[in-house]
Structure 1
Amino acid sequence: MTRIDDQLRTAMRRRNVFHTWLLAAGSIALLTGCAYLIAGPVGVVWAVVGGAISLSVAWGVSPKMVLRLYRARPLPPHAFPEGQRVVADLADRAGLPHAPALWYVPSRMMNAFAVGRNDEAVICVTDGLIRGLTAREFTAVMAHEISHVAADDVKVMALADVTNRMTGILSMLGFFMLFFSLPAILMGQVESVPFFGIALLLVAPTLGGLMQLGLSRAREYDADLSALQLTGDPHGLASALVKLERIQGRMWEALALPHGRIPNPSLLRTHPETKERVRRIMALAGGPDDRAGPDATARPPVGRSIIPVTGPPRYRMRGLGHWY
């Protein structure tokens, strides 16, 4: 296990928590401002009521409803015992009441994601992820996903999503009201035009979307830190991130722009840039990588697939050679 710089990790954790609260509070303040501009205090009350109802519905959605969209299947313990043991051990270290269930997506894309609350969480993995990562890298990725579960990031991002959607709806409603008021404004029947309010309604959806993306990146940084606390292996997590970026992250660029790069500003990313994530992770490595050796590159034996195919892929993207 590599020695972690605990002082630096604590400083990074505080910064991530500050960014999380700042962005969440900013999103709520933006929604409140839009509601007040449209209907005054009554609009704020209705925004609170609507937001509470939407959040209760979003938080009550069963993970299985989401997994049906991906044609996911439960992963039997005998099919991938190594992965089941890894998830159970990490969940115990994270203090979860139950180990998340492993589900399988018959896709050759390399991906993993967690859904559900910490008492009924599910971690989905693709065949491409299991076959493409070493045991060490797979452990690091599972630690990252379990960190999302332990921090209830699903609830955090549901709050951000509901707030952003309601802000967009209020912005659209405000412009409908402005459109129907144009005749009165042009005829001089309106004493003063609230130019500041109009400007705020105009930029509100964009500002809300940017804050939601920023919140997502802050939670990714924090999940990286929590994963290191679970595994004590920054090299394994960095290796997994670089591999995912190299193998999976450039597929669409190769399709759309074979000899160039698609501009992707950091403000418009749901995940931080891999280079920056790796830089932060490796800054915490206070000592040499003492795990390098046979175990660092060990893979479970694979044939055509180490997981029995439980159903057909969703569809094939012709010309790319990938299933999704």
Structure 2
Amino acid sequence: MRFTTPAGLTLRAALAASISGAVLAGSLTVVLIIAVVGGMIITAYASDLLGYVPIHPPRHVWPIFWSLCGLVALGWFTRAIERAVRAERRALLERAVPPSEVAVVETSHLDSAVDRLARQVGIPVPELRVDPTATPLAYTTYRPTDPIVRVGRDDTPVIVISRGLIETLPQSELVAVLAHEIGHIANDDLRLMTLVLVPFVAAETLTEDEGATTNVSEICGHLLSFVASIGVSVFSRGRELAADRAAVTLTGDPGALAAALERLDGAEPTKPTADLREHTRSANAINVLPTLGPAKTVAGVRSTHPPLETRLEQLRSLATD
């Protein structure tokens, strides 16, 4: 069963929200338990030391201290999640420059295409930047200074395409890819993906302080991040198909997007052999292709994108409507 209808997308969102909510609750619980247990160990040593001096604090002082340990740990954990998300956004944009600053490659038509497509769907015109890499890439992300979780829709994310994408695709296919990204913005996918993403980042934060997986925090973090990746992927796959449909509506040319997807999927020599970013949580960016991990190896329930054939089948059906 393919959840590509509006009702199906809602079902996917509900399922992803349930998984992500459970992961976030689990991550916070792990941090709270570790902090409180640590506080209890500290007070046990403190009680032994105080046994040698004439100081006897009231019994209710210790539970208050344990609670404070938990609150401090939760505050630190929240701050760590925020730093991780902002660092990734910064990495996604650090090399990208306005099209006018790109030498050699012709980019004069790109800004006008984005402006026209954005006006078609009635959204603020997003900023367009070009990454100098030769790898064909197209993704949309927020700026590092933007709120982690946005509450409104009147925002202007940044669309990033690479020099490799411009050099690989003819103009009609490049416009189709830009329409796909505009479709994500119009469908509010980036904001919704961030909501699903935060629990994933929370789970991975538990694994980042240590290199080994021999402690409770590491083990719980890996288990929770595995479950969270399923929630991210369930949500993402449906949104990719919706963005493909939006691109066809905007351009009126399903063949252009289909050709672009096939051309990019076949660009093996320039495709990244490793994760574009370090973790799957790089869903900080909505991508036209599965650059969150090797597309050939990350499959099944953890795949962030539908199979190419599924996308082409949908585009063929739209061409015959």
Could you say whether these structures have the same fold, taking a TM-score greater than 0.5 normalized by the shorter chain as the test? yes
Question: What TM-score do you get using the length of structure 2 for normalisation?
Answer: 0.62
What one-letter code is carried by the residue in structure 2 that aligns with 1:92? Answer: R
1:144 touches 1:224 (CA, 8 Å); kept in 2? yes
Q: Closer, same or farther in 2 for the Cα pair 1:124/1:140, shift >3 Å? A: same
Counterparts of 2:232 and 2:163 in 1: how far apart (Å)? Answer: 30
Counterparts of 1:75 and 1:28 in 2: how far apart (Å)? Answer: 39
- Aligned-pair distance for 1:277? 1.2
Alignment match, 1:110: 136
Counterparts of 1:17 and 1:83 in 2: how far apart (Å)? Answer: 33
Unaligned runs of 5+ in 2: 34-66, 147-153, 274-294
Counterparts of 2:31 and 2:91 in 1: how far apart (Å)? Answer: 35
Unaligned runs of 5+ in 1: 1-9, 180-197, 254-260, 288-324
2:18 to 16, 25, 30: 25
Matched, 1:89 2:116: yes
Q: Helix, strand or coil: the match of 1:136?
A: helix
- Aligned-pair distance for 1:141? 0.3
Q: Closer, same or farther in 2 for the Cα pair 1:33/1:238, shift >3 Å? A: same
Counterparts of 2:18 and 2:217 in 1: how far apart (Å)? Answer: 28
- Aligned-pair distance for 1:64? 6.4
Q: Closer, same or farther in 2 for the Cα pair 1:133/1:208, shift >3 Å? A: same
Alignment match, 1:302: none
Q: Closer, same or farther in 2 for the Cα pair 1:17/1:276, shift >3 Å? A: same
- The one-character-per-residue Cα deviations of 1:80-111 (angstroms, maximum 9, x if unpaired) are 222222111101012112x2222122222211
Counterparts of 2:188 and 2:72 in 1: how far apart (Å)? Answer: 26
Alignment match, 1:75: 99
Q: Closer, same or farther in 2 for the Cα pair 1:142/1:52, shift >3 Å? A: same
Structure 1 residues 1-80: aligned runs within 5 Å: 12-33=5-26, 35-36=28-29, 66-68=92-94, 71-76=95-100, 80=107
Q: Closer, same or farther in 2 for the Cα pair 1:264/1:203, shift >3 Å? A: closer
Q: Which has the higher contact order (CA 8 A, sep 6+)?
A: 1
- The one-character-per-residue Cα deviations of 1:279-302 (angstroms, maximum 9, x if unpaired) are 122222234xxxxxxxxxxxxxxx
Counterparts of 1:20 and 1:113 in 2: how far apart (Å)? Answer: 21
- Aligned-pair distance for 1:34? 5.4
| 47-56 or 81-90: bigger deviation | 47-56
2:177 to 121, 141, 147: 141
Q: Closer, same or farther in 2 for the Cα pair 1:286/1:177, shift >3 Å? A: closer
Q: Helix, strand or coil: the match of 2:128?
A: strand
RMSD: 4.2
2:4 touches 2:242 (CA, 8 Å); kept in 1? no
Matched, 1:225 2:245: yes
Counterparts of 1:14 and 1:67 in 2: how far apart (Å)? Answer: 34
Q: Helix, strand or coil: the match of 1:16?
A: helix
- Aligned-pair distance for 1:115? 1.7
**Pairs aligned (count):** 250
2:81 touches 2:205 (CA, 8 Å); kept in 1? no
Q: Closer, same or farther in 2 for the Cα pair 1:76/1:19, shift >3 Å? A: same
Alignment match, 1:100: 126
- Aligned-pair distance for 1:56? 6.7
Counterparts of 1:14 and 1:44 in 2: how far apart (Å)? Answer: 40
Of all paired residues, the percent bearing the same amino acid is 27
Alignment match, 2:299: 265
- Aligned-pair distance for 1:129? 1.3
Q: Helix, strand or coil: the match of 1:102?
A: strand
- Aligned-pair distance for 1:246? 0.9
Question: What TM-score do you get using the length of structure 1 for normalisation?
Answer: 0.61
Q: Helix, strand or coil: the match of 2:312?
A: helix
Matched, 1:210 2:230: yes
Q: Closer, same or farther in 2 for the Cα pair 1:46/1:84, shift >3 Å? A: same
- Aligned-pair distance for 1:45? 9.1
Q: Closer, same or farther in 2 for the Cα pair 1:252/1:124, shift >3 Å? A: closer
Counterparts of 2:302 and 2:183 in 1: how far apart (Å)? Answer: 23
2:310 to 251, 267, 276: 276
- The one-character-per-residue Cα deviations of 1:138-190 (angstroms, maximum 9, x if unpaired) are 111001111222233333333233201323556999x85699xxxxxxxxxxx
2:245 touches 2:315 (CA, 8 Å); kept in 1? yes
Matched, 1:129 2:165: yes
Q: Closer, same or farther in 2 for the Cα pair 1:82/1:16, shift >3 Å? A: same
What one-letter code is carried by the residue in structure 2 that aligns with 1:15? Answer: G
